[in-house]
Amino acid sequence: MKIRPLHDRVIVKRIEQQRKTASGIVIPDSATEKPEQGEVLAVGAGKVLQDGSVRALELKVGDHVLFGKYAGQTVKVDGEELLVMREEDVFAILDSDSGQLKKAA
Q: Provide the CATH number for the domain around residue 40.
A: 2.30.33.40
Answer yes or no: is 104 within a domain: no
Order of all β-strands in the sheet with 64-67: 73-77, 80-86, 9-14, 37-43, 64-67, 90-94
Mean pLDDT (the chain, rounded):
79
Asked whether the whole model's pTM tops 0.75, one would answer: no
Domain that holds residue 70: 9-18+33-96
pLDDT at site 30: 54
Bigger pLDDT: 105 or 51?
Answer: 51
The DSSP bridge partners found for residue 7 are none
Q: How many domains does the chain have?
A: 1
Span 54-63, mean pLDDT? 89
pLDDT at site 47: 87
Answer yes or no: is 91 within a domain: yes
Answer yes or no: is 40 within a domain: yes
Answer yes or no: is 45 within a domain: yes
Span 66-71, mean pLDDT? 87
Pairing of strands 9-14, 37-43: antiparallel
